[in-house]
Amino acid sequence: MADVLLDAGVLTRCRRRVHLENDPAYADVELAPPNPAAEQRIADAAEHRLDVIERLRTAQPDGWVSVPLTAQPRERVEATAAALAAGAPYVSGALLPADTEGGRRGGAEVLVRTEHGYLPVIVVRHRITDPGAGAMTTALTDLDPAAAREDAERKVRSHPRDQLRLAHLRELLRAAGYAEPDAARGGVIGLDADVVVWHDLDAPTFPGDRSAMAEYAGRFADRHAIAVAAATGAQPLAQPSRIVECKQCPWWPVCEPALLDARDVSLVVRGDDAVNLRERGVATVDALAALDPAGEPPVPLTGTTFEHAVALARAWRGGVSVVRKVPEVVVPRGDVEVDVDMESFADHGAYLWGALLSGADIGLPHGYHSFATWEPVPTDDEARSFAEFWSWFGEVRARAARRGLTFRAYCYNALAENRWLLGSATRFAGKPGVPEVGEVQAFVDSDEWVDLFQSVSDTFLSTAGKGLKVVARQAGHDWDDPDASGEASMRWYREAVGMDGSAPALRQRERLLRYNEDDVRATHALRVWMSGPAMADVPYIGDL
């Protein structure tokens, strides 16, 4: 049997997936087709890495050895080993020699030589800092960790997988004989590509005051043991268990039938709760449903209460998808109501604010209103579209107040809308029509702003999840576009603004507007359903 070699991706991957990827019995199994949005993210990340490396090489043209990314893996390893042996100051595109004893393989965007060895710098396509203070940074073009200083404007944004990958690369360098002997550290360049954030991998940055190196050691040992057992046909060390990542996993067509056949408890209780219940003999939905919800739980639960876990099991067993947690459903309503939904492109910006005006007549047209920029974000034109939205929104509120009418605005999961409401006010402060942050904060904190996701969470248990597209369909609402999803909207947006250099696709702009309108109509339909007589037909938890 060939050596079992794992890359850093296994560290944050489902344990069962690690088994399946290394079990020869599953080599020819048909997997779910690639997700186009995921493939686009991979391509965008690759382009981002190339762009950053080019900027680094241009700023510091001397001392670089570039390993061709298009070369065969063996050739890349040989070129990397030769560059390290020659003491190259910087090596890009590095693919390190495999650590056959430790079971590791992997590469780094950049390896940087220090006085005592090499350390890794990785390039990622997500934001790695937030406003604040405390991150250890250097300028983007300064790859000397000794020059890192505490940043007064940035704090580290938590991305455990970045630190775990750095730890993996550090161990590969150690096995090859090139790691710094007395310091485990590495750098990360993020989406903004404005600084290098330097991580001390021995610092207590993980729960329980564990360091990244300690967390890495435990996780990698676990994943490697799983992979070896799978490759050798030994007793599997990881069984199927439903988690959040399942819906995006290519192996879901393999795991789902097995879970359904077993009526596995993870179909209604997720994560560690399912693992702990199985260990106490509650391995199936039926076993959980048979327990007394008023009795002592077999294990402490973290994702839900014991009463709700039993209720979900009983609902699933009975083919019921939604159950009421409360005898009477109450949703805050207003005389004048606006449903709000924002569309953003990753972390780049909010390009569309959509709103549905309904309720009492205040002299403004009822129905859907959109405020968009079709310049690729980030762009200053976001300030215009946001200001137009806020001006219209403020006029609705003002007219309702002048007429003595109550006002409510609704969204689904306010975290996203709040982020871009406050972020836009901050980014574009002082531009025409852009409100002050305090004004936006006062609205966000007021009773006029209603998060329907919170209302749904307080009101219902759902065996299929509580996403808008799940719950709104219970209310009889559907989307005009059969492909409607947040992932799909990312692809549509790229075409709508001509992000790849092609002419902007007007049909995709229209598609995005219809999708956004369907989203605000979904929250409206959901609210009306929750406020109406249909609630009497939704089973109450106490009656299960």
How would you class 327 by CB atoms within 10 Å of its CB: exposed for 0-12, middle for 13-18, buried for 19 or more?
Answer: exposed
CA 440 to CA 435: how far, in whole Å?
Answer: 7
Residue 359 DSSP SS3? strand
The amino acid sitting at 314 is R
In sequence order, the 6+-apart residues with CB closer than 8 A to the CB of 273 are 299, 301, 302, 303, 304, 309
Residue 41 has pLDDT above 80, yes or no: yes
Q: What are the pLDDT digits (tens) for 163-217?
A: 999 999 999 999 999 999 988 999 999 999 999 999 999 999 999 999 999 999 9
Q: What pLDDT is stored for residue 72 in this prediction?
A: 96
Residue 327 contacts residue 459 (beta carbons within 8 Å): no
Fold of the 336-537 domain: Nucleotidyltransferase; domain 5 (3.30.420)
Between the two ends of the chain, the Cα-to-Cα distance in Å is: 53
Residue 182 DSSP SS3? coil
Q: Kindly report the CA angle at 374 between 371 and 375, in degrees rounded to 5?
A: 125
Q: What pLDDT is stored for residue 2 in this prediction?
A: 60
224 phi and psi angles, rounded to 5 deg: -70, -40
Q: Which residue has the tokens 């991580």?
A: 199
The amino acid sitting at 388 is E
98 CB neighbour count, 10 Å cutoff = 18
CA 124: distance to chain centroid?
A: 14
Both structure tokens of 125 = 């396509």
* 3-state DSSP of 134-176: CCEEEECCCCCHHHCEECCCEEECCCHHHHHHHHHHHHHHHHH
Q: What are the pLDDT digits (tens) for 501-539?
A: 889 999 999 999 999 999 999 999 999 999 999 999 999
Task: Give the CATH number of domain 263-319; options: 1.10.1740, 3.40.720, 3.30.110, 1.10.150.
Answer: 1.10.150
pTM of the complete model: 0.86
Q: What pLDDT is stored for residue 271 in this prediction?
A: 84
Both structure tokens of 85 = 């042996």
Q: How much is the average pLDDT of 370-382?
A: 96
Q: What are the pLDDT digits (tens) for 235-276?
A: 999 999 999 899 889 999 999 999 999 999 999 998 889 999
Q: How much is the average pLDDT of 308-313?
A: 94
Q: Kindly report the CA angle at 450 between 448 and 454, in degrees rounded to 5?
A: 155
Q: What pLDDT is stored for residue 476 in this prediction?
A: 94
Kind of pairing, strands 195-200 and 185-189? antiparallel
CA 531 to CA 359: how far, in whole Å?
Answer: 14
Q: What pLDDT is stored for residue 3 in this prediction?
A: 86
The domain segmentation of the chain, as residue ranges, is 8-226, 263-319, 336-537
- Beta bridge pairs of residue 357: 338, 367
Q: Find, among 230, 256, 254, 261, the residue nearest to 242 by Cα.
A: 256
Q: What are the pLDDT digits (tens) for 265-296?
A: 999 998 889 999 999 999 999 999 999 999 99
Q: What are the pLDDT digits (tens) for 419-464?
A: 999 999 999 999 999 999 999 999 999 999 999 999 999 999 998 8
CA 544 to CA 542: how far, in whole Å?
Answer: 6
Q: How much is the average pLDDT of 81-108?
A: 97
Residue 496 has pLDDT above 90, yes or no: yes
**DSSP codes joined into one string, 190-211:** -TT-SEEEEEETTS--BGGGB-
Q: How confident is the model at residue 349 (pLDDT cuts 50, 70, 90)?
A: very high
CA 429 to CA 409: how far, in whole Å?
Answer: 23
